[in-house]
Structure 1
Amino acid sequence: MLNCEIHGALDLRLAERPAEPLAPTQVRVAVKAVGICGSDLHYYRHGRVGDFVIRAPLTPGHEASGQVIEVGAQVSSVKPGDRVALNPSRACGVCRFCRAGASNHCENVHFFGSASRWPHMQGAMREQVVVEATQCLAVPDTLSFELAAFGEPLAVALHAVQEAGSLLGKTVMVVGAGPIGALILMAAKLAGASQLIAVDIVDETLAACTRVGATRTINAAKEPDALQALAADKGQVDASFEVSGHYDGLANCIRSTRPRGTIVQVGTLGGNSEGCPFNQIMVKSLHLVGSFRFVDEYAWAVDYLSRGLLDVSPLLTEAVPVARVHDAFALAADRHRAMKVLVTF
């Protein structure tokens, strides 16, 4: 089978690899579409994501859909020919976190396309992938493979919104208007938020957020007065989501969120924290919570996509054939041209 492999920084190769064996509880899926995520871009551009360094060829890709081509002897939930979205997370179900309902923190999780463990956990950017039947969620013929691949990032967004608590009638601000930020806006609107503010430094991504429901956009680099206005009178925002992964973004959330409001940290923070007003978390009695991956929300995401409750098509920039995978990564890295880029097989 054809396999995309990252060997190190800027070293992405296409290789032929043998097909994996199939266990009785497993399913062989012909991969049709795989989204390129921020972590995939980090592995490609830098050979690492934070402390997770590529030490052997890594197949990226954790936003995937495909078609079942073979099932194990004990599998009855799906059959050959079924179109499926692929949950990239396989939790053990027995560790202390799984037993507590926090499988996103499973001590023994297998997650597509991650160098966080050794041997590395290979992803779905390949012609075929073998998964447990429980990782396959059937989707209708009316949902394209490309849109079905949005199940994973939408699940991340839904989990973040869950962590924020009730948003009914609330003013919500999302700082960092990339694909996850845009999906959080959509999820917050579904949860009943009345005002949806998107903040970024790229006009093109802000325009995409307008297309999916943002009621207001702010370019932080060009409109500092607008951010100052949101910070007036101890803050005008009920709940904010930091998705940019920058301390400047967190600082804007702290300043703009009203006393006793909520900040959800979604982005992976990096850079210099100097100037971030952490003391205001105490002064304003803010609720600061982190949001990591998802739990049950993957099934919710696929259900919402399948029933058309959320239309993510405005976020799909281009589906690029695997033969042009280098072009796909280059496009995905350009925030002025791309929101979500997929590789297709």
Structure 2
Amino acid sequence: MTIPTETLAVVAHAAGDLRIETVPVKNPADSEAIIEIAYGGICGSDLHYWQHGAAGESILKAPLILGHEVVGTVVQAAFDGSGFAVGTRVAVHPATPGVGDGAPFPLDRPNLSPGCTYLGSAARFPHTDGAFARFVALPCHMLRELPAGLTLRAAALVEPASVAWHAVSRAGDLVGKRVLVIGAGPIGSLIVAVATRAGAAEVIVTDMHDLPLATAMAVGATASLMATDADAIAQVAADVVFESSGSHRGLASAMRGATRGGRVVMVGLLPSGEQPALISLAITRELELVGSFRFNDEIDEVIAALSDGSLVIDSVVTHEFAAEDALEAFEVARDSSRSGKVLLRF
């Protein structure tokens, strides 16, 4: 096919300023392929750039094409012969590890590399544009071929499911364990599904709203609690707790809901700066507080699990909009009482 010189894209300009506009299709480097994007999932970071002009400490300094949860089809192969042939359907791993300022990091955990860039991120300047566009040029190292039986729409959850898979890997062996998940948004619900697949005996989930709780139950939770029911949460005594709400209140619930000697995996990204925490409780219960940030090669395991049917997560998607209706889609996605994962269709 003939690759156009311009493409529709979803661009954050500043807090409250989200635009659907035409942008140039970037000329690919020799090791880049051009992908026709089929679907993109709206992530919490996309919402933060739109609502606040920042995601944590990543502050918008220039217009940024959003989007890192994307799948599509190769329409122009890389000039250097690397990567996949035209027509290959792919998921995208949005990270490019890098040594940055040379700060040390575990070499087997490139997600922690100080120079790592991520699609649709304002962490560095110039910003790293995302892939909420119909046509994008992407490095071949980001691309993962999709098996024949896995549809592009089903694969649209590969990236957030990889975040969940990494979080579960940070928890250790879950076989026979009691698990508590704080926050049943898309990531929380995906953690429920992955933890269930990993052999957890019980998975209890909390949230402020009925819809996300119902979604979590549909993907494997054995019980649900309202996030306001502090007494019930404190009685769970979970072996492993996943905090995916991204709030200090959620972290407090996670500590209260953990059994003595339990592990708390912190997945939800709290705001930057100091946060209140029940550290005395963590000390006296000898809780293990473990961070979980993005993912590494778990994306390959996720694709395999979706393909063989051992991970069924379709119900996490609650809405789909044409890319031209992205402004409406973002409004729906910001309201967790009425939406789970919202997809844009390019």
Same fold by TM (over 0.5)?
A: yes
Question: 2:103 matched to 1:123?
Answer: no
User: For structure 2, which runs of at least 5 residues remain unmatched after alignment?
Assistant: 1-6
Q: Tell me the equivalent position of 1:291.
A: 292
**CA displacement at 1:225 relative to structure 2:** 3.5
Q: Tell me the equivalent position of 2:251.
A: 250
Q: Give the distance between the partners of 1:29 and 1:339, measured in 2 at CA.
A: 26
**CA displacement at 1:99 relative to structure 2:** 6.4
Q: Tell me the equivalent position of 2:91.
A: 85
Does the CA contact (< 8 Å) of 2:206 and 2:226 recur in 1? yes
Q: Tell me the equivalent position of 1:180.
A: 187
Q: Give the distance between the partners of 2:310 and 2:99, measured in 1 at CA.
A: 30
Q: Give the distance between the partners of 1:116 and 1:78, measured in 2 at CA.
A: 29
Question: 2:56 matched to 1:50?
Answer: yes
Q: Give the distance between the partners of 2:275 and 2:123, measured in 1 at CA.
A: 25
Question: 2:195 matched to 1:194?
Answer: no
Q: Give the distance between the partners of 2:212 and 2:167, measured in 1 at CA.
A: 20
Q: Give the distance between the partners of 1:50 and 1:285, measured in 2 at CA.
A: 29
- Residue-by-residue CA offset, 1:153-200 (whole Å, 9 max, x unaligned): 111101111111111100000001100001111111111110000011
Q: Give the distance between the partners of 1:122 and 1:22, measured in 2 at CA.
A: 14
The change in CA–CA distance for 1:87 and 1:98 in structure 2 (over 3 A counts) is farther
The one of 59, 63, 71 aligned to 2:77:
71
Q: How does 1:25-174 map to 2 (within 5 A)?
A: 25-92=31-98, 100-174=107-181
Q: Give the distance between the partners of 1:51 and 1:91, measured in 2 at CA.
A: 19
**CA displacement at 1:252 relative to structure 2:** 1.5
Q: Give the distance between the partners of 1:336 and 1:179, measured in 2 at CA.
A: 12
**CA displacement at 1:141 relative to structure 2:** 4.0
The change in CA–CA distance for 1:157 and 1:71 in structure 2 (over 3 A counts) is same
Partner amino acid for 1:248? R
Does the CA contact (< 8 Å) of 2:99 and 2:116 recur in 1? no
User: For structure 1, which runs of at least 5 residues remain unmatched after alignment?
Assistant: 231-235
Question: 2:343 matched to 1:342?
Answer: yes
Q: Give the distance between the partners of 1:273 and 1:41, measured in 2 at CA.
A: 21
**CA displacement at 1:292 relative to structure 2:** 0.5
More off after superposition, 138-147 vs 239-248: 138-147
**CA displacement at 1:323 relative to structure 2:** 1.0
Partner amino acid for 1:262? R
- Residue-by-residue CA offset, 1:81-116 (whole Å, 9 max, x unaligned): 111101111123796767611110122222100111
Q: Tell me the equivalent position of 2:18.
A: 12
Aligned residues: 338
Partner amino acid for 1:219? M
- Residue-by-residue CA offset, 1:57-96 (whole Å, 9 max, x unaligned): 1111110000000112323441101111011111237967
- Aligned CA-pair RMSD: 1.8
Q: Tell me the equivalent position of 2:225.
A: 218
**CA displacement at 1:21 relative to structure 2:** 1.4
Corresponding residue SS for 1:153: helix
Q: How does 1:202-281 map to 2 (within 5 A)?
A: 202-221=209-228, 223-230=229-236, 236-270=237-271, 273-274=275-276, 276-281=277-282
Q: Give the distance between the partners of 1:177 and 1:61, measured in 2 at CA.
A: 22
**CA displacement at 1:272 relative to structure 2:** 8.3
Q: Give the distance between the partners of 2:339 and 2:146, measured in 1 at CA.
A: 26
- Residue-by-residue CA offset, 1:188-227 (whole Å, 9 max, x unaligned): 1111110000011111110110000000000122x34322
Does the CA contact (< 8 Å) of 2:88 and 2:145 recur in 1? yes
Q: Give the distance between the partners of 2:287 and 2:117, measured in 1 at CA.
A: 34
The change in CA–CA distance for 1:96 and 1:225 in structure 2 (over 3 A counts) is closer
Q: Give the distance between the partners of 2:274 and 2:93, measured in 1 at CA.
A: 34
Q: Tell me the equivalent position of 1:320.
A: 321
Q: Tell me the equivalent position of 2:4.
A: none
Partner amino acid for 2:42? I
The one of 23, 26, 29 aligned to 2:29:
23
Q: Give the distance between the partners of 2:230 and 2:92, measured in 1 at CA.
A: 41
Identity, in percent, stands at 37
Does the CA contact (< 8 Å) of 1:265 and 1:291 recur in 2? yes
Give TM-score scaled by structure 2 length.
0.93
The change in CA–CA distance for 1:97 and 1:344 in structure 2 (over 3 A counts) is farther
The change in CA–CA distance for 1:97 and 1:160 in structure 2 (over 3 A counts) is farther
Does the CA contact (< 8 Å) of 1:93 and 1:103 recur in 2? no
